[in-house]
Amino acid sequence: MGTAIFMVLMVCGYWYTSRDLSTRFKIKRSFGWDVYFLVALYGCIFVLQGVIATGLLWLLLLAASATSNAFHLTAQNYVDWQIDFMNWSFLGIQAPVVVMLAFAILFCLYRSNWAGSARLDGEGRKKLYKRLSQSNGIEQLLYQCMEEGELALVTLKSRRIYIGMIHTATLEYEKTANIVLIPMLSGYRDGEKMDLRIEHNYSKWYAEHDITLDSEPRSAMAFRKVIMLDQIESLSLFDPASASALALEQRQNDGV
C-alpha cells in the first residue's frame, strides 16, 4: 500500500511539473535535489487533496446512513455505509486508499490539462513571463523587448550580430530554448577592434517594398530568425540614436 501511494505521488508530481507552464519555469531554475523535492511537493499536494476528498466522501456516506436509518429508507433496519466503505478492499488494498489515489490522479489530470492555468492565452502568458522574468536578467530584457517593442542587439558566439524586434521567446525547455527575432540590421564584429560591421539593412528593404508585420502577401515574419539561446553571447537593448552618437564620438577620439 505504501508503495502504491509513493508511486502515485511521484507520477502525479512529475506529470504536473512537466505540463504546467509556470511549474516548468520553476523546474528550469532548479538544480540537483531541488528538482526531486519540487516534484515530490506537488505530488504530496495532490495526494493530500485526495485524502480530503476521501474524507468528504466518508462524511457523505455517514450522513446518508444517518438519514436512511432515521427515515427507514431501505429494507434494512440499520445501515452503516461508511463502515462498509472502510472495510471494502480492492486487490488487497482498502477502498479508502484506492479512492484517495483515484482522486489524486483526477485532480492532477484536471490541473495539468483542463484548468485555466494550463490553458493560458497570449495575455496570460505575458503576465506569467512578466512575473517569472523578474529574477532573471535575460528573460527580463526579452520581456521588455516584447512588451514595449524595443530593438534588441543580439551577439552570437560566432560574432554574428542581429538587431531587431523580439517576436517570441520559448524558454520552458533548456535544450530547445530559443528566441524569434525579426531582423532590422545584421552584421558581425570585427576580429581586431570588435567594431560592429553592418552587412544587411532589412529595415530599408522593408520600407522599399512596403513590408510590415501584417502586410500581404509577404510580411516581415517571412524574414524572422530563430536563434537558440545557448548560441547567444550577449543581449542588450539597441538605441539607433545612442549608437550613432557613440560611434561618432569614437571616430573623433581616434582622430585626435
In a domain, 185, yes or no: yes
**Domain co-membership, 88 together with 148:** no
Distance CA 145, CA 138 (A): 11
Question: What is the tens place of the pLDDT at every residue in 90-106?
Answer: 777 788 888 999 999 99
This prediction's pTM:
0.59
Q: Which of 27-41, 154-168, 175-189, 236-250 has the lowest mean pLDDT?
A: 236-250
* 49-53, 132-136, 164-168 — most confident range: 49-53
Per-residue confidence band for 32, with pLDDT thresholds at 50, 70 and 90: confident
**Domain co-membership, 14 together with 51:** yes
Average pLDDT on 171-186 reads 85
Position 244 pLDDT exceeds 90: no
Q: Could you tell me the residue range of the domain that residue 220 belongs to?
A: 122-240
Distance CA 187, CA 190 (A): 10
In a domain, 249, yes or no: no
Position 248 pLDDT exceeds 50: no
Per-residue confidence band for 122, with pLDDT thresholds at 50, 70 and 90: low
**Domain co-membership, 67 together with 177:** no
Taking residue 115's Cβ as centre, other Cβ atoms within 10 Å add up to 12
**Domain co-membership, 97 together with 136:** no
Give 233's DSSP letter.
Answer: E
Last residue of a domain, one of 77, 96, 118: 118
Distance CA 168, CA 213 (A): 14
Per-residue confidence band for 246, with pLDDT thresholds at 50, 70 and 90: very low
CATH at residue 167: 2.30.30.100
Distance CA 237, CA 254 (A): 26
